[in-house]
Amino acid sequence: MNTPKHKKSFLSVAYVLLMFMAEIAKSEAQQQEKNLTERHKAIIPIAANTASGNVVKLENALNQGLEKGLTVNEIKEIFIHSYAYAGFPRALNGINTFIDVMDDRAQRGIEDEMGSEATPLPQNYDPNKYGHIVRNDLVGRDISNRTTGYPVFVPTIDKFLVEHLFADIFFRDVLTHKDRELVTISILSSMRGNEAQLRGHLNISLRVGYSPDQLLEFASVLNETVSQESSIRALALIKDIAGISDSSPEIADVRVNRSESSVQASQDHFTGKAIVTSGFESPVSGHYRGAMVEFESGARTAWHTHPYGQTLIVISGKGLVQSEGHEPQEMLPGNVVNIPPNTKHWHGASEDSPMSHIAISTPDNGNTVQWMELVGSF
């Protein structure tokens, strides 16, 4: 017997509303939680490091997430959600990293829980209706018929946002709506220039049940597992939104490095004797790192490249620097030498004088240098 079309439509709408009310009930049940769960703490670095493109940290976060109880399908869902906020290329890189992690764990005999699949879409599912219901509830007001802003200027993108993100993606119940907001603020915190969107989603996070204390804990997790920069970005907005006094503990602080440790440079990568001291790195994770290098007369590096180039600041003595295919150039105290990305070069002291310089470079997924063959006589 065929069911009348109007009855099918009513049943479909009722099913969608029941699913949505179940999400609300889950959020309300979680509102009393004082601290983030270990599961929540595991979600944050996976989402944030996917968005920032830090594959090394993401790999560690994926292993930690599986150990802390995230299922394989929950992690896959983080990538599905992240492509809407961080872009498909970053989501795809995250998925490929996860494939490598799963292959490695399988080779080590580790069997991870797959977890539940998403509930299939109901018959006569209306993504426009469901998407508007979800978005309106998240923001706390009806914004279905905007008359200004981007929905009027580019209505197609608002249609995609409603019907794909807030309907097709948010309907997938592998992650709750509360989980998805945590994924979203993790992604936005890790990316520069999204403060307006991050502010909006932090407000939504409070609406779906995260407490100010949990959001402060969220900022601490960012600091520990993602970067100080992302943590500072989130913390400033959290304090403003939640009305938290500036007297609360700060994650950022001025640090004076008085390390006097030194190490002799490897003979695999240097000719002659060179001492490396005063290593340092940016308080913003992944921005730069460096050290002072003191070369004895005639000592020099091997040929090498840097993924994002290098800056040398000559402190004392007289040195030489050469890029492949060009003549050596003299370096003297006060000179600042800029070496372009992926340019094969070497640098060191001249034959008749020692030389010291500060060397600064930016890491690419943790790596700052690619070493090559030793330099011949010059």
The C-alpha angle 170, 220, 69, rounded to 5 degrees, equals: 55
| Shared-domain flag, residues 286 and 216 | no
Structural domains of the chain, count: 2
Same domain, 192 and 270: no
Please determine, for residue 20, whether its predicted confidence score (pLDDT) is greater than 80. Answer: no
Q: In whole angstroms, what is the distance from residue 95 CA to residue 76 CA?
A: 7
Residue 228, pLDDT score: 87
Q: Lowest-pLDDT range, 118-122, 172-176, 256-260, 265-269?
A: 256-260
pLDDT (average), residues 266-292: 87
Percent of the chain's residues with pLDDT above 70 = 87
Q: State both tokens at 140.
A: 């706390």
266 in the same domain as 232 = no
* pLDDT surpassing 70 at residue 101: yes
Angle at 193 between CA 192 and CA 194, to 5 degrees: 95
Domain range enclosing 349: 262-371
| Predicted confidence band of residue 134 (pLDDT cuts 50, 70, 90) | very high
- Residue 318 sits in the same domain as residue 359: yes
- Tens-place pLDDT, residues 201-225: 999 999 999 999 999 999 999 999 9
Lowest-confidence segment of 10-14, 263-267, 309-313 by average pLDDT: 10-14
My answer on whether 291 and 335 are in the same domain is yes
Dig out the tokens for 216 from the structure: 């402060």
Average pLDDT, the chain: 90
Query: CATH number, domain at 301?
Result: 2.60.120.10
Average pLDDT over residues 90-117: 97
Domain assignment present for 194: yes
Tens of pLDDT, residue by residue over 312-350, are 999 999 999 999 999 999 999 999 999 999 999 999 999
- Whether 221 is covered by a domain: the verdict is yes
CATH code at 201? 1.20.1290.10
pLDDT recorded at residue 278: 85
DSSP sequence for 4-29: PHHHHHHHHHHHHHHHHHHHHHHHHH
Specify if 355 maps to a domain: yes
Predicted model pTM: 0.73
Of residues 184, 177, 215, the one with CA closest to residue 200: 184
Does the residue 310 lie in any domain? Answer: yes
Same domain for 192 and 47: yes
Specify whether 189 is located in the same domain as 306: no
Q: Is residue 73 situated within a structural domain?
A: yes
Domain assignment present for residue 275? The answer is yes
- Whether 247 is covered by a domain: the verdict is no
The answer to whether residue 157 sits within a structural domain is: no
Last residue of a domain, one of 211, 242, 273: 242
Residue 114: which pLDDT band, with cuts at 50, 70 and 90? Answer: very high
**Mean pLDDT value of segment 44-57:** 96
Shortest CA distance to 239 belongs to which of 201, 262, 213, 260? 213
